[in-house]
Structure 1
Amino acid sequence: MKRIFFLLIVIVGLYLVFNRSFHFPVMQASKTDGTAAITKQTEVISVDVANVSTTIIPEDRPNLKAVYNGKQKLSVKENGDAIKVSVKGKWFHWFNWLSFSEKNKLIIYIPENYDQNMKIDLGSGNVNFSGESRTNPMKLNELSIDIGSGNMKLKNLEVKQFEHDGASGNVNVNSLKAERSSFDLGSGNVDIQHYVGAIKADVASGELDIQMDQLTDSIQLDLSSGNIKLDLPKSADFTMKGDVSSGNISCNFPLKSKEINKGSINGRHGSGKHLIQLDVSSGNIHIF
């Protein structure tokens, strides 16, 4: 009898704990913010969030400001030459999926004249980052974005080094100039418009659609399954090496020293200054 009474107490206690966690106001979405000073010594802004849609807005301001609307905990910390913005689940968030919703949003305002490094790490969710315009882009030294699952939209940026690593989702880029860029995506689509600079992309499954405003450096594109569309300026000088294990290659450019075999194409356009390497295991390549 005592055992039954004890089990009833345990069951009632667990019920109260779960009921309190899921229904008390502490679980309701709330709005919080935090700020950090940006100085000449600030070398990196780090953003580490899980299950949050994040928007980064450059504007005329002296400091960083983060505004978060959701059920998790916002933290903005200064540590020497680094500023870290993080949003993490509280102790009662046993299930991450309960924390994610359209209302779970983070907006980070940064000085438009900040020109050092940014590192963005998202467990899942979306990231949007835009400069003012194509003629007045946001300029950075290095920009690194790591997304577990979600979409990325970038616009009007100029960086020396850009790195993207995503497990799944879509990448949309409009107006990006970089000395070096790399895109690594497990599953999804990559759509890049108005790009200038060297680029390396590796996609396991999906579509690669890239439009270059200028060809100033090398291009290396690898796709396991899907299609590649590469739009080059008419004046581009390049040497092309393309291979498809299963699929087709087509090129609208008149190539010199042209060699076309089943599943491969080699040739030169203009002076052949920049190397373009294209490799598809299963799919098609179209250069125009």
Structure 2
Amino acid sequence: MLKKIFVIFLILTGLFIIMTNLPLFSWFGLNNEQKEANVTDKVELIKIQTTSVPTTIIPEDRDDIVIDYEGQGSVDLHQGDDEIEIDAKGPKFQFGLFNRNSKLTIYIPEVYDRNISLKVGSGTLLLEGHSSQKPLSLEELAVDIGSGKLELRNIEANLIEQKGSSGYAKLENIEANTGSFEISSGKLMIHHYSGALDAQVSSGFMDIQFDTLTGNSEVKVSSGSAKLDLPDDADFTLIGKMSSGKINHDFQLTDKSSGKNHIEGKYGSGDNKLDLQVSSGHINLY
């Protein structure tokens, strides 16, 4: 009996070594694909959708898009006159033994400055500009995350829109004239944010740390919580409304008025309007 178990163990070990070291065996559906698309001046949108595939998007000195995919599943690329669309899907039946090395890397031109749309299912996606001093600069960035994980770093845009449900999003070194963020039953972390924002939290958690606050901002919380870390030299007029919730703050406000369901006041010059609304949740402002 022990001999049979030992033989089975050796067979399984051999299969493991084959699968992890010879991923080009097509009969297991593993492959290494590389596709390209020209990014002309007419391309207004790069649209990327991923499901169950660890994905990294790297801006670099080039004038085309190159896709490097390893593992099971499929990657489809379609190039239209003004749009490039990438759709990556992991295997329908995933086994950690067979899909442990799967990954997708997408190289895009670092000078591309128009629009990018990202949709992440049950996988991970990273988009990172070169550095905080040399960010990826876009007109608009739209992000939709399901039960996956998203990371964005070193990005500036005129408009950033992010929606999330049952997922996790981490953003760092982000600058936007307008940022729109919505999280439901998930978690959103933003560090080193500059600009104005419109944020909504429902049964989730949001943590935003501002380097600078410019423009009017609005935060709504329903059955969730939000933390807003503002710089000491921020200028804002706080207008807070509470219904079965709380707004806590550490600022010495002037022209202050408060009651059970509201709080108002100015900090600094009061130039920027900060509208906070809470229902069955809480906001910590500090």
Shorter-chain TM band: 0.7 to 0.9
Task: Work out the CA distance in 2 between the residues paired with 1:249 and 1:122.
Answer: 32
Task: Work out the CA distance in 1 between the residues paired with 2:149 and 2:244.
Answer: 29
Residue correspondences, number: 260
What TM-score, normalized to structure 1? 0.84
Structure 2 counterpart of 1:174, which letter? E
How big is each residue's C-alpha offset from its partner over 1:4-60, in whole Å with a ceiling of 9 and x where there is no partner?
A: xxxxxxxxxxxxxxxxxxxx9534332211011112222111112222222111111
Instruction: Describe the shift of the 1:267–1:97 C-alpha distance in structure 2 as closer, same or farther (beyond 3 A).
Output: farther
1:48-59 alignment runs, 5 A limit: 48-59=49-60
Return the offset for 1:188.
Answer: 1.4
Q: Note if 1:283 corresponds to 2:284.
A: no
Name the structure 1 match of 2:45: 44
Task: Work out the CA distance in 2 between the residues paired with 1:132 and 1:69.
Answer: 24
Question: Tell me, which stretches of 5 or more residues in structure 2 are unaligned?
Answer: 1-24
Structure 2 counterpart of 1:42, which letter? V
State which of 204, 218, 221 in structure 1 corresponds to 2:219.
Answer: 221
Structure 2 counterpart of 1:48, which letter? Q
Question: Tell me, which stretches of 5 or more residues in structure 1 are unaligned?
Answer: 1-23
How big is each residue's C-alpha offset from its partner over 1:134-168, in whole Å with a ceiling of 9 and x where there is no partner?
A: 11101011111112211111110001111112221
1:52-91 alignment runs, 5 A limit: 52-88=53-89
Indicate conservation of the 8 Å contact 1:51/1:99, yes or no: no
What TM-score, normalized to structure 2? 0.84
How big is each residue's C-alpha offset from its partner over 1:245-286, in whole Å with a ceiling of 9 and x where there is no partner?
A: 234322211111111222432111122211111122223322
Name the structure 2 match of 1:12: none
Indicate conservation of the 8 Å contact 2:221/2:278, yes or no: yes
1:99-138 alignment runs, 5 A limit: 102-138=100-136
1:1-288 alignment runs, 5 A limit: 25-88=26-89, 96=92, 98=94, 102-288=100-286
The structure with the greater share of residues assigned to strand is 1
Return the offset for 1:226.
Answer: 2.7
Task: Work out the CA distance in 2 between the residues paired with 1:282 and 1:191.
Answer: 21
Instruction: Describe the shift of the 1:182–1:99 C-alpha distance in structure 2 as closer, same or farther (beyond 3 A).
Output: farther
Structure 1 counterpart of 2:36, which letter? T
> Percent identity over the alignment?
40
Return the offset for 1:173.
Answer: 0.9
